Structure 1
């Protein structure tokens, strides 16, 4: 797992555990993992194996995909039906057109993620966006 992916996952494991008030030992017990495995995953001593991530996600009652999502995106509601094509801002219509043949749940998740990204970009100042663009 690339380091840029592993670090946020480690943080997310810690966040989910803390949100539930669990110790590492409690998470290890619920996930059926050794305490050391959970500790290493949270401290970043190694990249968590997909089997480890699956066990941890199941212990939290979520999917591995949800565990890997950034915090803001994981809290989005994707239970409502996706908006019609005409209801979407022009900037999202092309994205939805690309996903036209995908199942509705995939479209919901991608639409929610795109909205979260758009909202985050709107919140940032023009200076911040300018710096981000110039560093590419």
Structure 2
């Protein structure tokens, strides 16, 4: 049965529930949802500029500054001048940050697998397209 509930209301509810589950599973890391998001976006090990992280994580610059500062203070991130352009600053994971990011990604994948396991792959792909379109709005 199709629901007439607004997609964005469902998305907000799903986000809230997902963040609660992740907060429980990763409680020992003592990281906020925004901090988890940044670590997940850096988990591939590639350094990024602050603006690149902001776009990837969907975080406002004013919020991102505080998030990055907290992760730097916790020793999970390092800041350095970008090779070839000393004016640009790159953010990368430290060894501890890489370990934390690996745990975050594993937790994200586990939550996604539990929640979406019964959903046909074609519908999951379609949902990814919808969410990508909303992220671009």
* Larger strand share, 1 or 2: 2
Instruction: Compute the TM-score of the two structures, normalised by the length of structure 2.
Output: 0.29
Instruction: Compute the TM-score of the two structures, normalised by the length of structure 1.
Output: 0.29
